[in-house]
Every structure is written in C-alpha cells, then in structure tokens.
C-alpha cells in the first residue's frame, strides 16, 4: 500500500542489526515509500548482524559509525550527503544498549562506568547526532528527526534499570533540541514511545515475555509491532506531520492511557 509519501526525501537510518530490528522494518518501508537513505550501525554490530543484506535489498550504502563518536558521526553525515546527493530530510535514531542490563545487574548494584555507557549510547548519542547535523547544516527545512523511546521513561519497571534514565534523557533532548532546531531551521525533533517489541534489544531485558503479555492485555488495540512502528516513522518523516515537534508520541495500542482493561479483570478474577 505504498503512496510515495517520501518521494525525493533523503535520510540516515541508525540501528538496523537484523531483520527483527525496528530500524530494519523502517528502512524497508521508507524504501517502499520512495525515500533514499544510508544505513549505519556501530562497527561491532555490523560484524555480528546482517545489515549488508538489508543494504542490498534497499540499494543503500552502509557507513559504519559508533553513535557515541563525534568523529564517526561527522564522517557519517558528510558522506551521507555526498552519497545521496544533497541535504537530508529525515533521520531515525534507533539505538539502545545497557551493559548493566546485558550483564544482569540489579538496580541496587549498578556498575557506574557501565551506567555512563548506557547514557552515552542510548541518550547522549541523540544530542551528538543533532549537534553534528546542525554544525554541518545537514538538514533541509521541515526535516524530521525521530528517536525511539519506551514508557519506562515515565513509569518504573524493575528490570529496565538504567535504561529508564536513558529514555527520560532521550525524550528531554528531543524537547530541548526540537525547540532550538525548530526556531532555527524548521527541523522537527520527536520521540516515539513504542510497545514492547520482540527484537534483540527487547528480549535482552529479563522478564520481557511477561511485560510483553501484560502490555498486550492492557492495550485495547494490542501491542504495536515493529512494522506498525515503521509505518509511524514514515508518517513522521512525511509532510503530513509538518507541525509536530518536541513531542513524545505514544505508539502503544492505548497502553499508556489504560487504567485496567476488561481482559485483565476477567483474567485476574478467574
């Protein structure tokens, strides 16, 4: 059901690791809608994942970049403009990693070097992406930058540990940079707060299956899938959302507005 919504638009898509990644599905959908883009990921993730298959399917160039490195980002934005033949209209930041979660650390036993790494990779990198883009004047007017967040920015989830702070900071950066970039160059900056999704980052969180099922029961529409999220990203990159900026957009089938649902009441009263 492609509508050429992104015809003539150019961009960068961060974070496609494998075919389950939200960024992977987004790349396919952006391509379908007529957009062109470069793909990027951290050098180590590119060795572990299958990004080259996606690049071949999309006719996209892969430019490695560790999103915490200003030098890598500088190279990525400069090369992307070169390869794509002009300034950019959209950027997807689909990056998250917590060494503390990876190593199964409890919230009362955080390793603070890793905590800082979580913040650097999962939140500060978003500021670095935006600042690099501003300094290189890499975005066209009315361009759209989106990062992916999770409701643990607003509510406590025991096993999400330091990623909760990273997501709160990510959303805050979208507001602050959105204000600056909007008044400066009409560039839009938003976060999409996505339902639990079965990806490498998702299933790495202990208890994931339980809160996936819980969210499913608490969402009148059910959990939003990675494909659904990809469609929302396309909408946010399109001209149909020109006046949306500095927002954290809930994309969760109604989860965030539900107190309790009939399904859960029935389940718990058995």
Ligand X SMILES: NC(=O)c1ccc[n+]([C@@H]2O[C@H](COP(=O)([O-])OP(=O)(O)OC[C@H]3O[C@@H](n4cnc5c(N)ncnc54)[C@H](O)[C@@H]3O)[C@@H](O)[C@H]2O)c1
- Contacts with ligand X, residue ranges (CB under 6 A): 14-15, 17, 21-23, 41-42, 45, 66-68, 94-97, 121, 148-150, 194, 196-197, 199-202
- Closer residue to ligand X (CB): 34 or 64: 64
Q: Which is nearer to ligand X, 138 or 148 (CB)?
A: 148
Helix (H, G, I), strand (E, B) or coil at 21: coil
Those residues with Cβ within 8 angstroms of residue 260's Cβ, 6 or more apart along the chain or in another chain: 218
Nearest distance, CB of residue 110 and ligand X, angstroms: 18
To the nearest whole angstrom, how small is the minimum distance from the Cβ of residue 12 to ligand X?
Answer: 12
Residue 123 CB, shortest distance to ligand X, in Å, is 10
Q: 230, 188, 212: which is closest to 94 by C-alpha?
A: 230
- Taking the least distance from each CB to ligand X, the nearer of 68 and 241 is 68
Least distance (Å) between residue 96 CB and ligand X: 3
To the nearest 10°, report the CA torsion of 241, 247, 248, 254: -60
CB of 218 to ligand X, least distance (A): 15
Strands (E), the chain: 10-14, 36-40, 88-93, 139-149, 188-194, 248-251
User: Cα(121)–Cα(69) distance, rounded to whole angstroms?
Assistant: 10
Give kind and range of the element (H or E) at residue 181: helix 161-185
Tokens of 15: 């974070």
- Least distance from C-beta 15 to ligand X, angstroms? 4
* Between 149 and 231, CB nearer to ligand X: 149
Nearer to ligand X, 36 or 118 (CB): 118
When the beta carbons of 156 and 184 are compared against ligand X, the nearer one is: 156
Cα separation, 241 vs 54, whole angstroms: 27
């Amino acid at each position: 059901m492609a509508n050429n919504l992104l015809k003539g638009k150019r961009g960068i898509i961060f974070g496609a690791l494998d075919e389950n990644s939200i960024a992977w599905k987004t790349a396919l959908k952006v391509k379908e809608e007529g957009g062109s883009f470069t793909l990027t990921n951290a050098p180590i993730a590119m060795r572990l994942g299958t990004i080259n298959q996606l690049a071949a399917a999309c006719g996209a160039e892969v430019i490695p970049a560790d999103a915490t490195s200003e030098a890598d980002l500088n190279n990525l934005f400069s090369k992307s403009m070169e390869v794509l033949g002009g300034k950019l209209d959209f950027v997807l930041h689909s990056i998250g990693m917590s060494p503390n979660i990876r190593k199964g650390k409890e919230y009362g036993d955080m390793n603070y070097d890793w905590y800082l790494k979580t913040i650097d990779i999962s939140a500060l990198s978003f500021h670095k992406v935006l600042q690099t883009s501003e300094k290189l004047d890499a975005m066209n007017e009315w361009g759209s930058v989106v990062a992916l967040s999770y409701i643990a920015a607003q509510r406590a989830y025991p096993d999400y540990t330091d990623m909760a702070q990273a997501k709160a900071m990510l959303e805050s950066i979208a507001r602050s940079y959105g204000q600056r970039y909007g008044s400066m160059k009409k560039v839009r900056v938003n976060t999409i707060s996505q339902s639990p999704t079965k990806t490498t980052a998702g299933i790495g969180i202990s208890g994931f299956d339980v809160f996936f099922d819980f969210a499913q029961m608490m969402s009148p529409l059910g959990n939003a899938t990675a494909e659904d999220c990809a469609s929302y990203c396309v909408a946010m990159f399109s001209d149909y959302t020109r006046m949306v900026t500095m927002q954290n957009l809930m994309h969760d089938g109604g989860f965030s507005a539900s107190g309790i649902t009939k399904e859960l009441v029935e389940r718990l009263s058995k």
